[in-house]
Structure 1
Amino acid sequence: MAKWIKKSATTMVVVVGLGLLAACGSDKNNESGASAQAASSASSSANAQASTGAGTTADAQTRTVRDEFGEVTVPAHPKRIAAIYLEDYLKALGIAPVVQWYNPNWGKQDYLNLDVPLFDNSGSIEALLAQSPDLIILDGAIDRAAYDQYSKVAPTFRLPESVLQDSGQILKTIADVIGIPEKAESVAAAYEAKVADAKAKLAQAVGKETVAVIRVNVGDRTIALFGAKNRYAGSILFDDLGLTPHPMVEKMTEFQEILSEEAFSMLDADHIIVIPSNGDWKTAENQDAFTLLDSPMWKSVPAFKNGHVYKVDRSYWQSGAITANGMKIDDLLKLMVK
């Protein structure tokens, strides 16, 4: 990467600290371990679902599916699902999760308007254990060690790396795992129609004008530039909607990079989307952080000169899920299509 950019930690979803899990979940571990052992000895049917490698066991109460780390036995018809940082997809499929992901530093995904207990992933596991999920679905930030700890609470499916950059594939995979693949088809069809309509309108309104997404970090007062392959913003903007990334954005190989001050004026994009690192733009902290962009360097770039700097909601712009992406499309049409 060029010298005008400094590397930063990139994964938005913090790997959950579950040090207490082995002690708190020992009884559940014994129960789920026995269940898994019994299920693994049952024969699988020949009709496996290709997306998950699923097979229904002889008693039809469980299925064997393949996730990122191998085969796992899951309920054939789960009733209490915890989808950590994937609640968006459950809601799109018409299912209420038993808990909602929460971090005290970032809050939760308020746009989902869920009325369920919060699971504080910064260390506490009380909420997750108390809700007794019969299936846990995990996002890509979870490594094998954390996965093994989750598995002591309930059967756990970790999304394969191969689907993480595509919200449609994530939706399909989750629907397959919980046994409602037909619902994913109808949700995906409506979403694809929305994308196609927006892409045509944006092409006419914006053409080849360049676009960049930045985040103003309140804590350390820095500015992060999102790369073209950023799964929360880049994929929907550039891959799905066909917008043109600024050259700095297009060349990035990282999820995000911290911009040095001398790089500000080099980001001469035609349109700049700005996200706060926490909360919304109404807070005094975020209003103060936005003053980082109130400098002669920034004022010289086309986006600022032409009034094409857009403040958007962090809650769904830092999510790559299907409901969130639909809300981003609504924002882009409102902001860019006159």
Structure 2
Amino acid sequence: MVQRGQKYIWAAMLIMVMAVLAACGTNDNAASGNASQTENAAASSTPDGNTPAATDSTGGDEGGTRTVTGEFGDVEIPAHPQRIAGIYVEDYLKALGVTPVVQWYHPSWGKQDYLGLDVPEFDITGSMEALLDQNPDLIILDGGADQAAYENYSKVAPTYRLPEAVLQDSRLMLAAIADALGVPEKAESVLAEYDAKVADGKVKLQQAIGQEKVAVIRLNVADKSFALFGVKNRYTGVIYDQFGLTPVDMAAEMTEYQSIISEEVIPELGADHIIVFPDNGEWDSADNQDALSILDGPLWKNIPAVKNGKIYKMERSHWQSGAITANSMKLDDLLKAIVK
């Protein structure tokens, strides 16, 4: 009987020890799980208040996404896009050190030749198949795309249409694109260099011509008409509001981007300096040479700018772009033409 009682006592003690060990193991697992959850929560929050980047099912950063707010609402885009199509905005991509997968092209307008991109052309009047073939993982659009176009592009890849509020200022556009790409510091560097160049150039232009009046005219080759660009023009308004040049009165009073004017109006502009470029192609093309002969006509001879040799024939592609690289090139052109 004594031996049997001792056996029961030892068995009871063994059961109690096993229960204690099991409880400790459970508590250790729970503590480990809580610590892991705390670390994950800390990693998913961002001190700058931006929307945190999500990660894919593997947890790798390369597959992560983030949300940006465009003109037509929020869109989820890759956190680290590798193949970017920038329709109308290749200039900004190149300034940020990014080579786009395509360059937009329009049969009537050509493309932005000044960028010198060696990538396939994408005819924006044609099929989306050509863009789909390049397998972009992000598409960025400017104001040239309405909601219907945006939705079509969105079928190809995640698409960020820049907010309307940034489209009038190349600085804001550059910053918005850099933010979408996750490289805001690159925009800051580009803008610092650009602003320093503009500040220096503005002083030199002011010293050279003071308040002499400037007109920017596009020669529409097909019908040999003229478009006077106003101060609000997204392509050339920069020469007034950033470079400090003085517009002719008609351009200063314009609320629209441009106004089609007859040849007879040109002398009435009172321009001391005229900047002119064709709507498409190079000046030495046959069509443009024929259109250029208009500038030798009798109506032009008494214009102050013509009499004084201050009519400047410019390359059309960067003068018909309001992007950051194009604007820098416009300043170079003006300094070369005006500052002696």
Whether 1:253 aligns to 2:255 is yes
Structure 1, unaligned runs of 5 or more: 1-42
User: 2:313 — aligned with what?
Assistant: 311
CA contact (8 A) 1:44 1:64 kept: no
The C-alpha deviation readout for 1:214-269, integer Å capped at 9, x for no partner, is: 011111111111011101111x2001011101101001111111102431221111
1:149-298 superposed matches below 5 A: 149-234=152-237, 236-298=238-300
The C-alpha deviation readout for 1:39-73, integer Å capped at 9, x for no partner, is: xxxx9867444xxxx54236560111101111111
Read off the aligned partner of 2:242 and give its amino acid letter. D
TM-score, normalised on structure 2? Answer: 0.83
CA contact (8 A) 2:221 2:279 kept: yes
User: 1:40 — aligned with what?
Assistant: none
CA contact (8 A) 2:234 2:322 kept: yes
Distance 1:148 1:48, change over 3 A: farther
Shift of 1:315: 1.3
CA contact (8 A) 2:224 2:291 kept: yes
- The separation in 1 between residues aligned to 2:46 and 2:74, in whole angstroms, is 15
Instruction: Determine which of 117, 120, 127 is the counterpart of 1:117.
Output: 120
Shift of 1:293: 2.4
More helix by share: 2
SS of 1:272's equivalent? strand
Instruction: Determine which of 310, 328, 331 is the counterpart of 1:329.
Output: 331
Structure with greater contact order relative to length (CA < 8 Å, sep ≥ 6): 1
User: 1:91 — aligned with what?
Assistant: 94
User: 1:30 — aligned with what?
Assistant: none
CA contact (8 A) 1:80 1:97 kept: yes
Distance 1:70 1:46, change over 3 A: farther
Task: Report how many aligned residue pairs link the two structures.
Answer: 291
Whether 1:127 aligns to 2:130 is yes
User: 2:53 — aligned with what?
Assistant: 56
Aligned sequence identity (%): 65
Instruction: Determine which of 136, 140, 144 is the counterpart of 1:141.
Output: 144
- C-alpha RMSD of matched pairs (Å): 1.5
Read off the aligned partner of 2:294 and give its amino acid letter. L
Read off the aligned partner of 1:156 and give its amino acid letter. T
TM-score, normalised on structure 1? Answer: 0.83
User: Which stretch of the first structure deviates more once superposed, 136-145 or 259-268?
Assistant: 259-268
The C-alpha deviation readout for 1:146-194, integer Å capped at 9, x for no partner, is: 1111111111011111111111111110000011011111111111111
Q: Any runs of at least 4 consecutive aligned residues in structure 1 with deviations exceeding 3 A, and if so which?
A: 43-49
CA contact (8 A) 2:226 2:263 kept: no
Read off the aligned partner of 1:81 and give its amino acid letter. I
User: 1:16 — aligned with what?
Assistant: none
Read off the aligned partner of 2:285 and give its amino acid letter. T
Read off the aligned partner of 1:190 and give its amino acid letter. E
